[in-house]
């Protein structure tokens, strides 16, 4: 009997409508990783349908989107300012989703958004270009927040070595930056784009317009876990001081409540479709897709601003048996852009492709050797997912096996 790592379900089940498997973790849980919470994964019902597909049915048939739009207008009316002050914070990178969110709030709903960006680890050329277009073409104000690179690189390295989750410190920073800037600028409304839950996280999240303020609380910052290590242990090594961790320390729930800061998802109010966001961003903020597809998938326009992004998905492939093509195809099947059969073929073709293009940059960025890279990767291959045959690692379960 093999023992699944990270508390993953022993039996691998793929959703019969999309291509996601029950190994997919919830990203809200990934965020809580720093508190060492247990991992929860997407549910697949007795009918073989996953939580995300089930929510999609609700989205299609049961939600009165006209009513939701009225609710959005009512919410915005409470916050709208005409005195030259910002009235909503939109966190994002200037990718298709945040470009759409910020532009539509400003130019359709008459708000005055301040967009805030937690800088990617290392900008790609196309990412920087799109970031510039967001302000230059889209006509939006932005604050680019770049954390101490020496610390951020170290935390990313630790997150890779200890958790095989190099994006964990980035996710922490990105989640905090919105409410943090709202509190600083005296803005009470923060608007994220899609509710991440839509893609398979804690599904009850989809039914709420707001993110719980408690979500941001860290308690004692010295006890906070980043990159799989306690902050106080990193500080004790005298590498860094507690002050260096300022950008990772979330504003307290009580502090946010006092200032009346609310965090909402636009995807709760407007029917969200990533491809439509892309078309909107091309039209309105000068957004451009990449000239080539991203390694590990077939898509060209989502999450293209960071050189190490593909390593996030490479590590999900190793830990959960699902890579970037799986995530992309699952979403596109749900939104009727491709059929399941096409999705299965795309997953078979691209999911396991190794991200060579920025491999050297990634090793340099986190300052490890190739040997350390592979030793770490192989340490995280759960025996219920991977088997070594003829010196090569192979997935025991793949969506194309199930659907022969
Ligand atoms: Zn599904």
- Res 37 pLDDT > 80: no
The Cα–Cα gap between 234 and 220 comes to: 15
Output the CA torsion 317→321→322→325 (10° steps).
70
Task: Note whether 72 and 49 are same-domain residues.
Answer: no
- CB neighbour list of residue 330: distance below 8 Å, 6 or more residues apart: 15, 18, 19, 20, 52, 199, 200, 343
- Phi and psi at residue 26, to the nearest 5°: -90, 135
**Ligand 1: centre distance to CA 25 (Å):** 14
Strand ranges inside 39-82, DSSP E: none
**Ligand 1: centre distance to CA 70 (Å):** 30
Residue 233 lies in a domain: yes
The Cα–Cα gap between 11 and 41 comes to: 12
Report the CATH number that the domain containing residue 262 is assigned in CATH: 3.40.50.620
DSSP state of 14: B
Task: Note whether 202 and 333 are same-domain residues.
Answer: no
Which range marks the domain in which residue 315 is found? 5-60+307-402
The Cα–Cα gap between 276 and 344 comes to: 23
Q: Please give the share of the chain, as a percent, with pLDDT higher than 70.
A: 92
Tokens at residue 253, please?
């729930």
**Position 34 confidence tier, pLDDT thresholds 50, 70, 90:** very low
The Cα–Cα gap between 176 and 252 comes to: 10
Residue 347 lies in a domain: yes
Task: Note whether 328 and 235 are same-domain residues.
Answer: no
- Res 217 pLDDT > 80: no
The Cα–Cα gap between 285 and 292 comes to: 21
**Ligand 1: centre distance to CA 181 (Å):** 35
Task: Note whether 316 and 230 are same-domain residues.
Answer: no
Task: Note whether 261 and 229 are same-domain residues.
Answer: yes
**Ligand 1: centre distance to CA 373 (Å):** 32
The Cα–Cα gap between 310 and 142 comes to: 26
- The H-or-E segment that residue 389 falls in is strand 386-389
The Cα–Cα gap between 277 and 101 comes to: 8
**Ligand 1: centre distance to CA 339 (Å):** 12
pLDDT value of position 206: 73
The Cα–Cα gap between 193 and 144 comes to: 18
pLDDT digits (tens, 9 = 90+) for 323-366: 999 999 999 999 999 999 999 999 999 999 999 999 999 999 99
pLDDT value of position 29: 40
**Ligand 1: centre distance to CA 226 (Å):** 31
Query: For all residues of the chain together, what is the average pLDDT?
Result: 91
Task: Note whether 100 and 128 are same-domain residues.
Answer: yes
Does residue 372 sit in helix, strand or coil? Answer: helix
The Cα–Cα gap between 162 and 159 comes to: 5
**Ligand 1: centre distance to CA 359 (Å):** 31
Q: Give the residue from 269, 299, 322 where a domain finishes.
A: 269
Residue 21 lies in a domain: yes
Task: Note whether 213 and 94 are same-domain residues.
Answer: yes
pLDDT value of position 250: 86
Residue 274 lies in a domain: no
Q: Give the residue from 213, 241, 269 where a domain finishes.
A: 269
Residue 40 lies in a domain: yes
**Ligand 1: centre distance to CA 23 (Å):** 12
Q: Of 312, 323, 309, 308, nearest to 364 (Cα)?
A: 308
Task: Note whether 222 and 348 are same-domain residues.
Answer: no
Q: Is 377 exposed, middle or buried (0-12, 13-18, 19+ CB in 10 A)?
A: middle
Residue 103 lies in a domain: yes
- Coarse DSSP helix, strand, coil percentages of the chain, rounded to the nearest 5 percent: 50, 10, 40
Residue 138 lies in a domain: yes
- Let me know: does 343 contact 15? Beta carbons within 8 Å: no
**Ligand 1: centre distance to CA 51 (Å):** 7
Task: Note whether 73 and 53 are same-domain residues.
Answer: no
Task: Note whether 201 and 317 are same-domain residues.
Answer: no
Task: Note whether 215 and 257 are same-domain residues.
Answer: yes
Task: Note whether 29 and 99 are same-domain residues.
Answer: no
The whole-number average pLDDT for the span 271-283 is 95
**Ligand 1: centre distance to CA 334 (Å):** 7
393 HSE (CA, 13 A, CB side): 17
Q: Give the residue from 239, 269, 299 where a domain finishes.
A: 269
- Res 239 pLDDT > 80: yes
**Ligand 1: centre distance to CA 12 (Å):** 14
Q: For the chain, what is the domain count?
A: 2
DSSP state of 304: -
């Amino acid at each position: 009997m093999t023992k699944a790592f990270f508390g993953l379900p022993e039996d691998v089940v793929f959703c019969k409508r999309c291509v996601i498997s029950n190994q997919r973790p919830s990203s809200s849980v990934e965020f809580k990783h720093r508190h060492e919470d247990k991992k929860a994964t997407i549910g697949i019902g007795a009918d073989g349908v996953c939580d995300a597909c089930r929510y999609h049915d609700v989205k299609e048939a049961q939600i009165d989107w006209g009513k939701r739009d009225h609710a959005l207008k009512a919410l915005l009316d409470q916050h709208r300012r005409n005195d030259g002050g910002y009235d909503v914070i939109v966190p994002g990178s200037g990718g298709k989703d945040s470009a759409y969110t910020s532009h539509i709030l400003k130019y359709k709903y008459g708000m005055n958004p301040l967009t805030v960006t937690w800088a990617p680890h290392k900008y790609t050329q196309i990412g920087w270009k799109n970031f510039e277009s967001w302000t230059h073409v889209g006509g939006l104000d932005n604050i680019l927040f770049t954390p101490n690179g020496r610390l951020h690189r170290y935390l990313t390295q630790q997150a890779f070595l200890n958790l095989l989750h190099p994006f964990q410190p980035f996710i922490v920073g990105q989640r905090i930056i919105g409410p943090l800037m709202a509190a600083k600028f005296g803005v009470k409304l923060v608007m994220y784009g899609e509710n991440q839950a839509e893609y398979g996280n804690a599904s009850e999240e989809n039914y709420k317009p707001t993110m719980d303020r408690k979500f941001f609380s860290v308690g004692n910052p010295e006890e906070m876990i980043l990159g799989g290590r306690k902050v106080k242990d990193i500080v004790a090594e005298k590498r860094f001081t507690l002050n260096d961790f300022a950008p990772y320390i979330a504003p307290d729930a009580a502090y946010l409540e006092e200032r009346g800061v609310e965090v909402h998802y636009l995807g709760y109010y407007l029917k969200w479709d990533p491809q439509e966001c892309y078309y909107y961003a091309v039209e309105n903020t000068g957004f451009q897709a990449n000239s080539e597809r991203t390694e590990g998938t077939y898509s060209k326009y989502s999450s293209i601003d960071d050189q190490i992004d593909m390593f996030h998905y490479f590590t999900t492939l190793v830990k959960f048996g699902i890579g970037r093509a799986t995530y992309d195809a699952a979403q596109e099947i749900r939104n009727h852009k491709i059929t399941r059969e096409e999705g299965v073929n795309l997953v078979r073709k691209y999911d396991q492709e190794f991200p060579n293009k920025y491999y050297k940059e990634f090793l340099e960025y986190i300052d490890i050797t190739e040997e350390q890279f592979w030793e770490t990767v192989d340490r995280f291959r759960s025996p219920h997912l991977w088997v070594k045959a003829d010196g090569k690692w192979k997935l025991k379960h793949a969506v194309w096996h199930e659907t022969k």
